[in-house]
Amino acid sequence: MAHPNAHPVIAVQGGGAPAAPTLLGQGPARIPTGGKIRAGIKVLTKKAAGEPKAQAIYEQGVAAGHSFEQIERAITEALPDLKTPLVPRNVPWFTVRAQDFPNPEIAREILDAYGEDRGDGRRLYRFPVVFPSDYWQAVMPHELAAWGAHEKHYWSQYSADGRVRHCMCHAPVPVDETGRRTIRLFGGRKTMVREDNGGGLCEPESCREYQQRQCNLTGRFLFFIPGIRSISAFELHTNSFYAMNAAIQKFETVGFLRGGRISGFLDRQRTPFYLTKKLMEVAHIDEQGRALRVPQWIIDLEAPVDVTALLRENEDTETALIQAQLATQVLQGSSVAASAEPLQPEAAESQAVMATEVASVEAPPLREGRPSLEQLMARAQAYGIAPERYQAYADRRWGRGWKINPHGRARAWDELERYGNDPQGYLDKIESELHLASRGRAS
């Protein structure tokens, strides 16, 4: 049975064997963050704007670069009757505030490097980003979530097979046998399926919180900014279905052209993605069920790259290294049947049959170190992998253009090589990846 942490969310460039599990490494890998860029601003409600004290606190907080959470907290402390004194406002720029970064100097660096003055002061309208993973689910995590004042109350999560979406919540803190003292927890609070919500299923149309607008789609982009020094990624939150859906299409298009890669710079000219905003007519259903269209500034992911350059062969070092490695393996006649561990007689016989089948699909040898699609599919079948499952997995991992891109085919062949001694392990990996992809699409 495969270990639950055998396939981390974050792709490590260059591949290699997965790291051994550790006491603190059992969960899926996450991208650490160290600062927020916000999609808009918050302004005083009509009621709060009528309070001179609230107006003064708001203006002082904005001038001092405080976060809107800090400003709102200061207003509610001074005027307890104002429960929600601030509301979001859609604007064409991004908000960069010193208090949203552990190192406040980073906010100034970002505005100095990429800010523009379009007549309303220096603002951040458009800025370059580089993503740290080839999985869009890792660089744009998202979920349905209901938040309270200080923590998340409920959130969506898919089952291990990616077929059922559950409503999750925090589990009650356990107590000892006396019932008077809580048990000290290792690793933080535990989670559980919410029992009082239709058997724990996440069904927005029948969910009380979703219908009352307490539960909403929420997501964030995780990225680095060229020229801004930080070991942690930055994040940009969004609740826009349109922004996230359009970004997924851009990610998949770029992955199609780059053999599955969306991380790093896009080409040899060090072209990054860009995040900006675009004014769009967005469909909106009012309380009477009427479809309305309202203009909104929506986050837009740009990839200003020469598409033909992405399709050229042998344009980057990684492709050359992979091809050299494959050519060396062919010249040396490396055997996929070699095994470092002794086998039981039944397992040895099965492994020998598998090795014979794999060897048969390796003749004729690879042309110039580049596998053909037929060789790849035949070898996958020899591992016991159904062609349609391998095709679905490869499309997700390297983009749908992997079949016509020598770089993509080389990476696929290299991965098959690594699992030559463990076909069942590779089949388990493929099934796990497809379940993860299915869960990400439906979130």
Instruction: Out of 8-12, 110-114, 369-373, pick the least confident.
Output: 8-12
Give the pLDDT of residue 342.
Answer: 40
Instruction: Encode burial over 395-405: b for 16+ CB neighbours within 10 A, e otherwise.
Output: bbbbbbbbbeb
Structure tokens at 345: 């007689």
Q: Which residues contact 153 (CB under 8 A, 6 or more apart)?
A: 146, 147, 169, 209
Domain extents in the chain: 33-125, 128-175+189-310, 313-442
DSSP 106-141: HHHHHHHHH-EESSSSEEB--EEEB-S-S-HHHHS-
Interval 76-96: pLDDT, tens: 999 988 888 998 888 999 999
Task: Give the mean pLDDT of the chain.
Answer: 79
Using DSSP's 3-state secondary structure scheme, residue 296 falls into strand
Interval 260-269: pLDDT, tens: 889 999 988 8
Q: CA–CA distance from 117 to each of 93, 121, 125, 320, 406 (Å)?
A: 11, 5, 9, 44, 45
Structure tokens at 387: 């062609």
Q: Which pTM does this prediction carry?
A: 0.63
Specify the higher pLDDT residue, 316 or 45.
45
Q: Kindly state the average pLDDT of the residues 284-300.
A: 80
Helix or strand holding residue 271 (H, E):
none
Burial environment of residue 89 by CB neighbours within 10 A (0 to 12, 13 to 18, 19 or more): exposed
Interval 395-442: pLDDT, tens: 888 877 788 777 788 888 888 888 888 888 888 888 887 877 676 565
Q: CB atoms < 10 A from the CB of 33, how many? A: 15
pLDDT classification of 350: cutoffs 50, 70, 90: very low
Interval 13-44: pLDDT, tens: 434 444 556 555 555 567 889 899 999 888 99
Using DSSP's 3-state secondary structure scheme, residue 294 falls into strand
Q: Kindly state the average pLDDT of the residues 382-405.
A: 85
Euclidean distance between CA atoms 304 and 91, whole angstroms: 23
